[in-house]
Structure 1
Amino acid sequence: MIEPQRVTEHRGSDDLLTAGLGLDGLRAMAPPAFADAAAPTAAELRRRAIWNNWRGIADLSPTGGYGTVYGSVAAVPGREYAALARLPGAKQPHRVLVQVPDAFDQARRCVVVAPASGSRGVYGAIAVAGPWALPRGCAVAYTDKGAGTDYVDLDAGIGVRLDGTPGRLGEAVDLAFAPEVPAGATGVAFKHAHSQDNPEADWGRHVKQAAEFALSALGQAFPAAGPFTFDNTRVIAVGVSNGGGAVLRAAELDGGWLDAVVAGEPNVLVEGHGSRPLYDFSTEAALLMPCALLHLPADSLPQPPLRAQVEPLWTLRCATLQAAGLVQGADTAAQARSAYEQMEASGWTDEALKAGALSVGFDLWRSVAATYASAYGRHGIGAHPCGFSFSAQNPDFSARPATGAERGVWWSDAAGIPPGNGVGIVDTKLAPPDFTLPGLQCLRDLYTGQDAAAAGVREGIAATRAAMPRADLPVLVVHGSDDGLVPPAFTSDPYVAAARAAGRDQVRYWQVRNAEHFDAFLALPAYGARYAPMLPYVYAALDRVAAHLDGQGALPADAVIEARGRGAGAVDAAQLPLPQ
């Protein structure tokens, strides 16, 4: 097993769950400050990473109900054990980190393993697993699953060490990402795009390795109680979004090491049953959704994006799609209807389209596609088949070297995939009038085309396809019916259908009405009014599978849950009904 490489203690004003910030500190609009902005300490970076990852996942707004209606921010003292783990054959490591509460229940040994959502860093699932597990005396094992925020400044030759502080390439021995750097390379490299490992293909193995590391860390934390093994320690895997896909991939691995799985809004691909890979529907959305949204009534879309600001851009996209032969129609209304009908025919619902407007507004579809194309094709720095790269940028979007202050917060502040935190997408195909369209067409061609680059991307996607879980493994899938980033029609619905067809009667499915993908955006009034949070249902699913493992009831039945948004008021329990 992997031995802990760094051990830290977190007590008093620096606990495991919130780094001493508490709910008020997590809600603060400004991140925790550094005593010296030019040289933040490892402890300061950790606190800031925890602040950012809580806010990136949970709705912490005063009317959102977190910490009162659901969830916990209780101070939990304990220790953290961190290491860089590497799968056999991988070029780059993934981060693993275990939080061991001082009140760990040695009589009821429990580990909750939680891979990061999205491309986030190692604390990327802290709001998903920590509030449920740590106050119960369970340890939590995290992994960045081969992605994360270990950015490398190619101009300065500086990466990120195990403790989050900067380290120079070729000198520091504990860099979390040390890529092969071609001569003359500039800009920024990051692990999800540039590891050349196609990390998504190994998400399940990342999860299992994190669980193995947890047993090693527990043996070090409580040597008199050892050994800690899969036979004497309960392991539950939980994740949302990409983390949800990762725990479903872990569920298929051989052996009795895993006791239960809770997968929230999982990005998962299976064979048949209407399943579509993220790269397919995200490149489709990147091209068509801006135009298709104009077909929906203006007052049906949540704000932001502000309709008045984006409508000219969406109208331009309709015109350029028509000129490229991708939609039909002599005017904007007809072109929007054509784009809408194409998306409807490929499985998009009106609910997913409306929620997907947020991803259009944040340019998230292009961000996903540019990164995943590089990952699936195993392309190194400077080798993206569509010419995309990443860099700090001037106001005119031209590339420039990053400053030390920008570089100093990448590990703590970034979400693991540009644009954001001073790093932008460099698109060599930008051209008027619809500047991003040529690059998006190139990205789409990497899925639909016939050349070697497209074949490589499709091969990488095929390697991410999930198999069915172990026959006796309890699995509870939870997904919002209005999810516009990872629509359930392409992911959870097909996974559950495939499980049914394979006779996996331990797989159960909760469909949450009026819930979309991003709890964090429920702090926006229009989103909070309309949509219910997902985290209460992930926590409730953990409650139910844990009770089942304890012999206190059967697994919950499939359910369609009539949740609702808060309207103009604050969240209350009546808006979040739980299955019986």
Structure 2
Amino acid sequence: MRREGLYLGPDDRLVDSCYGDGMNRTVIHGCGVLAALLLGACASTPRGSEKPVMSDGLVSEIRVTRHEGADDLLSAGLGLSGLRGSVPAFADAQAPTPAELRRRAIYTSWRGIADLGPLGSYGEIYGSVPLVTGREFSAFAKLPEARSPHRVLLQVPDLFDRDKRCVIVAASSGSRGVYGAISLAGAWGLPRGCAVAYTDKGTGSGYFDVASNTGVRLDGTRTERGVEMLEFAPDGDETPGPLNAVLVKHAHSGDNPEASWGRHVIQAARFALHALDQAFPDQAPFTAGNTRIIAASLSNGGGAVLRAAENDANLLDGVVAVEPNILAGDGGRALYDYVTEAALLTPCALLEPRFDDTPFARVNGAHPPAWVTRCATLHERGELTADDLQTQAAEALARLHVSGWTDAALRNVAASTALDLWRAVAVTYAAAYTRTAAGPMPCGYGLAGMDPGTAPRLATPAERAAWWSDASGIPPGAGVGIVDDMATGDDASWPGVECLRQLWGTQDALGQRLAAGVEATRAALPRADLPIIIVHGQADGLVPIAFSSDPYVRWLEANERHPVLWRVEHAQHFDAFLAFPGFGDRHVPLMPFAYAALDRMWAHLFAGEALPPSRDIATTPRGSGPLGAVQLGVP
């Protein structure tokens, strides 16, 4: 059975916590602090009132939990069938247990990334979800200059190979919580006997609710600010906005976490070695010299592992980055630049007839009325010169072509446009880059409890309780919506997104802060001898390969680095979208190629095989039937 709330004593033996049974037990490791001091603090000091002394930037206790039977490491006991099923329920919707929250967080992380649809063939021709028992070590860590912590978590399988020591370290995809890359790093590493380390890289779903003055504990449950350390809470002297405001760490921490994503990954790798010392004291020490460490993740996490390669102090042995959001040191386009451009132009450009059969481009056979209105707005604002709708759409498309968008990418932006993803990203990142913290967000935006299409309201207790497990880290979603104070007129979202776009390149104080924030995310060169494999879909419409991986690899090659780049035909950004009607039949998943890249990196590091060459990988869209291996052509 699962044992939760163990105390890792100063002699590295697992003993009972000194907290009573009626309290939520935790794990504490003193890292050199005398046992008497630790025990004295535990007996006489209110929980969370003192910061434990930790190594490598840890600022919380280390919580150790055991996972077996119906609550394993990889799927929290759900297995593939459970991950394909309905969302796991809470016994008490307003007070879920840590185990229930963990299970649902893992479920949400799998479902947000992998294609688990009935035609996707996950678990049949690629991937698997075996039962993997073991322990989890979790803590809050902090960079020296950061205002808020980030989560670090190490999964140690019982089948950990102590003779062939390996750690896979992954940053969460998107702005997701700490399990955000489990379908890649966990699914590949845990069954192989590797420990898997994760970090939320300063983002995550530990939302702070102003009305209740609550945030998220280390175990995922909620408590009031000031009781103990939270995943995120505004500083005491900050004005957190209206009573219904919801604050998210990515936007409101004031840290611009993207600038430090690589350092978050390195800190997670060091935490992994530290926790392995505690997990296997007879085998300690675990070091970069005797443990292979592969950094691997996707999307924003893919950018984070590439950034970790810049200054890793020889800690990493290899990097596998999948569809990375990366801004090359020379060339490429910043995410904020092309996202705000897309927010303005794609609704109109997608009315061009070549996109008529694109999923989400039509609703009940007709174009979304808001997209037609956007063409009219662009014309009224002098952005488009044509008078008729079809020519306006062609003109908007031509502008996107000039700035580097390809039709392969644009065929996959309709979903992002219809789901309001462009605005969601721009709102969050504008606040992060300008470091507005808990103060007013740029362009009059805010986040609050909200039903789709309705006015802001207070979040319900059940919504608050589920944020850590259910939210993606970037609203809208999980009962939190975007408040737009500039919304007006027939094209209500236009004033706000135009304001966000105008911040790019302006010379006022806020625009300069945004430019500095974006520039801080620009990549530096990785270590010259570090093996790197990058996998990117040629049809990626969210992080287009033309703006990210292609210029990044050209820059590396111009500076005598030798990365491997696999450019996968018919692969787009969200494998999870392949379960939507009209998506899976014209695409292939990217995850099989990500697993294959890890296989090749493993063979290189452990068997001395040469790295594969860079290549464009030809694939065949899935069609109306189940995906077959012959359609992939995995190297």
Of residues 212, 231, 251, the one that matches 1:176 is 231
Cα displacement string for residues 34-57 of structure 1 (whole angstroms, at most 9, x for unaligned residues) = 111121000000000000000000
- Residue number in structure 2 paired with 1:332: 389
Query: Do the aligned partners of 1:298 and 1:307 also contact (CA within 8 Å) in 2?
Result: no
Of residues 180, 183, 195, the one that matches 1:139 is 195
- Residue number in structure 2 paired with 1:211: 269
Alignment CA distance shift 1:255-1:100 (3 Å): same
Distance in structure 2 (CA, Å) of the matches to 1:309 and 1:299: 9
Matched, 1:564 2:614: no
Distance in structure 2 (CA, Å) of the matches to 1:410 and 1:535: 27
Distance in structure 2 (CA, Å) of the matches to 1:418 and 1:108: 42
Unaligned runs of 5+ in 1: none
| TM-score normalized with structure 2 length | 0.89
- Residue number in structure 2 paired with 1:554: 610
AA partner of residue 250 (structure 1)? A
Alignment CA distance shift 1:41-1:304 (3 Å): farther
How far is the alpha carbon of 1:552 from its aligned partner? 3.8
For the residue of structure 1 that corresponds to 2:582, the secondary structure is: helix
How far is the alpha carbon of 1:576 from its aligned partner? 1.1
- Residue number in structure 1 paired with 2:287: 229
For the residue of structure 2 that corresponds to 1:79, the secondary structure is: strand
In the TM superposition, structure 1's runs of 4+ consecutive aligned residues that sit over 6 Å from their partners are none
- Residue number in structure 1 paired with 2:300: 242
**What pairs up with 1:109-148 in 2 under 5 angstroms?**
109-148=165-204
Query: Do the aligned partners of 1:328 and 1:334 also contact (CA within 8 Å) in 2?
Result: no
| Greater CA drift, 51-60 or 389-398 | 389-398
How far is the alpha carbon of 1:406 from its aligned partner? 0.8
AA partner of residue 457 (structure 1)? L
For the residue of structure 2 that corresponds to 1:294, the secondary structure is: coil
| Greater CA drift, 509-518 or 330-339 | 330-339
Distance in structure 1 (CA, Å) of the matches to 2:570 and 2:240: 51
Cα displacement string for residues 92-117 of structure 1 (whole angstroms, at most 9, x for unaligned residues) = 00000000000100001100001000
Distance in structure 2 (CA, Å) of the matches to 1:296 and 1:577: 32
For the residue of structure 2 that corresponds to 1:45, the secondary structure is: helix
Matched, 1:287 2:344: yes
Matched, 1:191 2:249: yes
AA partner of residue 282 (structure 1)? V
How far is the alpha carbon of 1:331 from its aligned partner? 1.0
AA partner of residue 303 (structure 2)? G
- Residue number in structure 1 paired with 2:95: 39
Aligned residues: 575
Q: Which has the larger radius of gyration?
A: 2
Query: Do the aligned partners of 1:515 and 1:564 also contact (CA within 8 Å) in 2?
Result: no
Cα displacement string for residues 43-74 of structure 1 (whole angstroms, at most 9, x for unaligned residues) = 00000000000000000012101111101100
Unaligned runs of 5+ in 2: 1-54
How far is the alpha carbon of 1:305 from its aligned partner? 5.6
Of residues 411, 430, 450, the one that matches 1:393 is 450
Distance in structure 2 (CA, Å) of the matches to 1:564 and 1:422: 38
Alignment CA distance shift 1:427-1:109 (3 Å): same
How far is the alpha carbon of 1:307 from its aligned partner? 6.5
- Residue number in structure 1 paired with 2:412: 355
How far is the alpha carbon of 1:469 from its aligned partner? 1.1
- Residue number in structure 1 paired with 2:528: 471
- Residue number in structure 2 paired with 1:301: 358
Alignment CA distance shift 1:457-1:305 (3 Å): farther
Of residues 394, 404, 429, the one that matches 2:486 is 429
How far is the alpha carbon of 1:340 from its aligned partner? 0.5
Alignment CA distance shift 1:395-1:118 (3 Å): closer
Distance in structure 2 (CA, Å) of the matches to 1:488 and 1:322: 30
Alignment CA distance shift 1:305-1:360 (3 Å): farther
Cα displacement string for residues 199-240 of structure 1 (whole angstroms, at most 9, x for unaligned residues) = 000000000000000011111110010011111110000111
How far is the alpha carbon of 1:131 from its aligned partner? 1.0
Of residues 148, 151, 161, the one that matches 1:105 is 161
Distance in structure 1 (CA, Å) of the matches to 2:389 and 2:361: 22
Distance in structure 2 (CA, Å) of the matches to 1:493 and 1:327: 30
AA partner of residue 120 (structure 1)? R
AA partner of residue 33 (structure 1)? A
How far is the alpha carbon of 1:167 from its aligned partner? 1.1
- Residue number in structure 1 paired with 2:67: 10
Cα displacement string for residues 357-409 of structure 1 (whole angstroms, at most 9, x for unaligned residues) = 11001000000000000000001223212111000125653211111011111
Query: Do the aligned partners of 2:210 and 2:240 also contact (CA within 8 Å) in 1?
Result: no
For the residue of structure 1 that corresponds to 2:607, the secondary structure is: coil
AA partner of residue 481 (structure 1)? Q
- Residue number in structure 2 paired with 1:163: 219
- Residue number in structure 1 paired with 2:129: 73
Matched, 1:316 2:373: yes
Alignment CA distance shift 1:364-1:394 (3 Å): closer
Alignment CA distance shift 1:395-1:134 (3 Å): closer
- Residue number in structure 1 paired with 2:20: none
How far is the alpha carbon of 1:551 from its aligned partner? 3.3
Matched, 1:531 2:587: yes
How far is the alpha carbon of 1:449 from its aligned partner? 1.8
For the residue of structure 1 that corresponds to 2:413, the secondary structure is: helix
For the residue of structure 1 that corresponds to 2:313, the secondary structure is: coil
Distance in structure 2 (CA, Å) of the matches to 1:296 and 1:560: 29
- Residue number in structure 2 paired with 1:576: 632
Alignment CA distance shift 1:503-1:364 (3 Å): same
Distance in structure 2 (CA, Å) of the matches to 1:268 and 1:229: 29
Of residues 145, 167, 181, the one that matches 1:89 is 145
Distance in structure 1 (CA, Å) of the matches to 2:234 and 2:602: 41
Matched, 1:271 2:329: yes
Root-mean-square deviation over aligned CA pairs: 1.3
Instruction: Using the aligned pairs only, state the percent identity.
Output: 57
Distance in structure 2 (CA, Å) of the matches to 1:260 and 1:219: 22
Cα displacement string for residues 454-493 of structure 1 (whole angstroms, at most 9, x for unaligned residues) = 1100100000000111000000010000000000000000
- Residue number in structure 2 paired with 1:451: 508
Query: Do the aligned partners of 1:371 and 1:417 also contact (CA within 8 Å) in 2?
Result: yes
How far is the alpha carbon of 1:196 from its aligned partner? 0.2
Distance in structure 2 (CA, Å) of the matches to 1:403 and 1:20: 29
- Residue number in structure 1 paired with 2:573: 517
How far is the alpha carbon of 1:309 from its aligned partner? 5.2
For the residue of structure 2 that corresponds to 1:448, the secondary structure is: coil
AA partner of residue 177 (structure 1)? F
Distance in structure 2 (CA, Å) of the matches to 1:108 and 1:356: 43
| Greater CA drift, 318-327 or 308-317 | 308-317
Query: Do the aligned partners of 1:305 and 1:361 also contact (CA within 8 Å) in 2?
Result: no
For the residue of structure 2 that corresponds to 1:386, the secondary structure is: helix
Distance in structure 2 (CA, Å) of the matches to 1:170 and 1:15: 33
Query: Do the aligned partners of 1:305 and 1:357 also contact (CA within 8 Å) in 2?
Result: no
Alignment CA distance shift 1:331-1:270 (3 Å): same
| TM-score normalized with structure 1 length | 0.97
AA partner of residue 495 (structure 1)? Y
Of residues 545, 548, 559, the one that matches 1:491 is 548
